[in-house]
Amino acid sequence: MYENDFSFDVKPETPAPKKGMGYGKKVMVSISLGLFFGVCGGLGFQAVTSASDLIKSGIEQAEAKLNKADSEDVVEALGQAENDGAEQPAAANVKTAGLVESTQVTTAVVTDVTEVVEEVMPAVVSVSNNYVENINFYGRELSNEGVASGSGIIVGENDTELLIVTNYHVVYETQKLEIQFVDGSTAEAQVKGTEPSMDLAVVAVKLADIGSETINSIAIATLGDSDALSVGEPAIAIGNAMGYGQSVTTGVISALDREAAYSNGESEVSNTFIQTDAAINPGNSGGALLNMKGEVVGINSNKVGGSLIEGMGYAIPISSAKPIIADLMLMQTRGKVSQEEQGYLGITGLTVGDEYAEAYNLPKGVYISQVFEGTAAEKAGLVKGDIITRFDGTEMLSMESLQKRLSFYNAGEIVEITIMRGDAMGGYEEKTLQIELGTRESIQG
């Protein structure tokens, strides 16, 4: 290489050193930043905690007031939480809404009826009806024995008898009635009187057949006023459900003055009933429907509706039944007499049921189709076409019921018979006749 005036050594440029902080300054900055973020974080956590506490406090106040099952208190509690400065987040709103819904569903009140039941249960009895059912099988008469269960209510006593009301269909076709009292003891009963169109019957048990311990354990029911009932008020049903013994169901009075037609075992009848949702099952018929005072306001009947409907039971209003029960209690208690001693009318008759009564505008009862000569009926003035409606104070709805009633009367007894006799205007007028019952031989002779 040749040296000249233009040759030189070229060296790379070295950048100028930057001015920076010393080590001490860096340490101070780091410490300051740490303190700053720590303070901010602490303040943020405290703010969140305070807000959470306020929200929790507001919800706890709402829950405490919700326990009182008062929706107005719920609103007040939630409002108080807002006034305390807690903003309600969505999660809190969902929880309180759930609490309100839960309260609305679970505030049902179950009424304690133990005192009422303890007071009235001794006045309710079980009734066992040993009956014989006659069946016509292709012209051949067949009989079948059976036992039906029902209930009854002790409504009074006289010098020699304990008197019990029940349904007519409970004692229909009975051969032997047995009453079971609250202490489990039993006694035989006799039918005292019946009113089939109201499905009512009074039976009597001799006081001499009831033990002293049973006498001390039973009670006479208090009859109330069904006309004073209101729809929605509580109701209690006591009876021998399914024949298992006394049981209790509860509900409310669902409706009043319900009209219904049903079979009383003998014929179709129509009455006005109390409707309740207290369960009334087979065996409850003749039992008591009570108000909360322990008063009998109805006589239960499972025949109405039966098993075809659910949640609807029926009872005969006690205000309608009272005068009939009073009359039946005064009737003479009778036992069956032998065929040799039994009294007879001397007629043949046909049942005037609902179908014939409506079709031909006839009174319901027993239509006399023939009067035999020389018999008690002819002597008393009964004629063909007369319709017997009552026999010795007992309502007659069928020829079968008349025959059964006669089986309790001796020949020679004088009884009162009520008839409906056709008049010149095409209508009917009521007449009452006295008749001395004859013997079986008077009809055959």
Distance from C-alpha of 67 to C-alpha of 70, rounded to nearest angstrom: 8
Task: Answer for the pair 280, 239: CB distance below 8 angstroms, yes or no.
Answer: yes
Distance from C-alpha of 154 to C-alpha of 212, rounded to nearest angstrom: 17
How many residues are there in the chain? Answer: 445
Task: Answer for the pair 191, 174: CB distance below 8 angstroms, yes or no.
Answer: yes
Distance from C-alpha of 99 to C-alpha of 105, rounded to nearest angstrom: 10
Task: Return the residue matching tokens 């999660």.
Answer: 91
Candidates 149, 285, 301, 401; catalytic one? 285
Task: Return the residue matching tokens 């035989």.
Answer: 188
Structure tokens at 199: 């499905």
Candidates 149, 151, 199, 392; catalytic one? 199
Q: Is 386 a catalytic residue?
A: no
Mode of pairing for the β-strands spanning 140-157 and 387-391: unpaired
Q: Is 254 a catalytic residue?
A: no
Candidates 126, 149, 151, 169; catalytic one? 169
Q: Is 338 a catalytic residue?
A: no
Catalogue the active-site residues. 169, 199, 285
